[in-house]
Structure 1
Amino acid sequence: MMVICDDAYYYIGLASHYLSDVGCPFHTGNAVNQIGQYVGGYENTYHYAYEQYVSSNWDSSFSDIVSSNTQSIAVTDPENAVEDLAEYSNGHLGYMWDEISEDPTGFGDDPMFIAHTYYIILKTAQYNQGLVDYMVIDDWNPWNDPESASEDYITTDELQEAISYWLNDYPAPITGELVSTSRLQALIHHWENDIPMPSGT
């Protein structure tokens, strides 16, 4: 059973913006050099050039990455998710900075530059799906109910049963909800660390 609160989508949008923001490599580092570029105006920065490149090519090259994504990365702590995505995104910054520096007008035609952008957008979409799964109060999980074997702890038998439902794409018992990859990852996380799994996770 899913509980939808007033303005839920609005707040999910705010939270996902905070997460998505670090999906732009230029929001994750090289601050000193970026500040130096701002002296000449934002429109003359590599930061601006990159965001304009993504915006101009969104419909033709990048929007399908998001709309066709079916995978999610489990989010159990939004702060950690932001830090992890920022670290991943920052790993692409060096190449992008150098490429824009060397070819300010043609960097967007470089196959490696396109590939870097593709993988950053894909990873950001997957984290956002995980964030939505985390935020929506969704009582999908029968294995952490008070009446289950170990109440809100996940036992090995319960995890094995959940894996079977996930592998066979069966709806979970009692709730009838599908066991998605991100939901299974959350079960494994709580089982592996022997920590209680609150309702809605």
Structure 2
Amino acid sequence: MLFLYLKVCLSLPPVKETGGKHMNGKIGMWASPLLLAVMLVSVAVVPAVSASELIVLPEPENALTHQEIDCIYVTLMDDVEASDIDADVKKDLLQSLQMVRDNTLSDVEKSAILTEVGKILLTQGSGGVSPQWSGYIGGGPAPHNDMARIAGQKMGLSSAACTILNEAAADPDDWGDLSWNHYFITGAPDQAEQYANIARGYLHDDDPSNDDLGYTNLAYSLHFMTDLSQPFHYAPVYLANHQAYESSYVHNNWTSGKDYRSDVELNWYYYYVTDVSDSAGNLASASNQHMDYIRRTMDQYSNWGDNPTLIQYTRNCFVDGAKYNMGLVDYVTRS
């Protein structure tokens, strides 16, 4: 604020003399060095950054604690218990989830169990609920489409490439699998990495005719990365909240109302991605920190969409997603 104040003061026109006494030279000589010193300090504290200048950041560490992760497992067990799946299947799933909680399995075994639990919940026990970070198949103004396009534009891709990103970004939601592998625990980070590496292969094979395939697969990778910016995409739990928050509230406030797209458009920071699946996991943990507050607010208040903290958490998630998406574009396209 001080820097802005000084800029305003320095831009004011000279004061006209009104017949009063002039300021003596000693005060003027004393004030100028002080003002200069304050300005220099202010510039150091609040650097001026061009509106189109990209700034690369180191990735933050995974934010979820073991206690928070265990709470997710407990919620999964509660959802399995309350589901309408076959009793014998339910019993096996609960036993498997308990082994996951007890940490007696390898990471590979845990991943296989959690993937199976998520798949079964979404295909057998969810009552047909299949929430998605909304997007339009074939392109349009929606989170998946716009976040992919904006990431490409920010990282300097051509207009044609950004059009492909926009048009293909929502496609994975139309693959007929109820999006069971679009969650952190069911393999979304691996999906993001798989398509990112396919995209790299096409874009770096010195055959320009493959560029469209490269950008299409980049769009698929961006889809899974963007999914993990959604607080409810860590695990397939609280599906009713998930759908109401994502497919209704966010979609309706994307370009109007809260205008969440503007938060993505105004971001010029990105993370330097070296391992796509690790980065996707970091994003999932960052966004999931907000899930419990958002869920409880939705359950307690009819006007939850106007809650200031919920609004800010949603903005945070989109900005985090934008940073990782831009880093993902950089990962795929850099030499």
TM class by smaller structure: 0.5 to 0.7
- The alignment status of 1:50 with 2:50, answered yes or no, reads no
Scaled by the length of structure 1, the TM-score of the pair is: 0.59
The correspondence for 2:227, drawn from 10, 18, 21, is 21
Aligned pairs for 1:110-121 within 5 A = 110-121=307-318
The higher relative CO (CA closer than 8 Å, separation ≥ 6) is in 1
Give distance in 2, aligned partners of 1:70 and 1:62.
15
Give distance in 2, aligned partners of 1:114 and 1:30.
22
- The alignment status of 1:72 with 2:300, answered yes or no, reads no
Q: 1:135 and 1:115, CA in 2 relative to 1: closer, same or farther beyond 3 A?
A: same
The alpha-carbon deviation at position 68 of structure 1 amounts to 2.2
Q: Aligned residues, how many? A: 125
Q: Which stretches in structure 2 are left out of the alignment for 5+ residues?
A: 1-202
Q: String of CA shifts for 1:140-197, please: whole Å, max 9, x gaps.
A: xxxxxxxxxxxxxxxxxxxxxxxxxxxxxxxxxxxxxxxxxxxxxxxxxxxxxxxxxx
Letter in 2 for 1:53: Y
Once superposed, what is the RMSD of the aligned Cα atoms? Answer: 1.7
Scaled by the length of structure 2, the TM-score of the pair is: 0.36
Give distance in 2, aligned partners of 1:7 and 1:63.
27
Determine helix, strand or coil for the equivalent of 2:273.
coil
8 Å CA contact retained: 1:29, 1:90: no
Q: 1:96 and 1:107, CA in 2 relative to 1: closer, same or farther beyond 3 A?
A: same
Structure index of larger Rg: 2
The alpha-carbon deviation at position 30 of structure 1 amounts to 6.9
Give distance in 2, aligned partners of 1:122 and 1:50.
17
- The alignment status of 1:84 with 2:282, answered yes or no, reads yes
Moved over 4 A (4+): none
Letter in 2 for 1:80: D
- The alignment status of 1:125 with 2:322, answered yes or no, reads yes
Q: 1:30 and 1:6, CA in 2 relative to 1: closer, same or farther beyond 3 A?
A: closer
Give distance in 2, aligned partners of 1:73 and 1:17.
17
Q: String of CA shifts for 1:126-148, please: whole Å, max 9, x gaps.
A: 10000000001x3xxxxxxxxxx
The alpha-carbon deviation at position 49 of structure 1 amounts to 1.1
Which residue pairs with 1:8 in the alignment?
A: 214
Determine helix, strand or coil for the equivalent of 1:72.
strand
Give distance in 2, aligned partners of 1:96 and 1:30.
15
Letter in 2 for 1:72: Y
- The alignment status of 1:108 with 2:314, answered yes or no, reads no
Q: Which stretches in structure 1 are left out of the alignment for 5+ residues?
A: 39-44, 139-199
Give distance in 2, aligned partners of 1:112 and 1:30.
23
Letter in 2 for 1:86: A
Q: String of CA shifts for 1:16-56, please: whole Å, max 9, x gaps.
A: 1111111111111472xx2xxx6xxxxxx111110111100
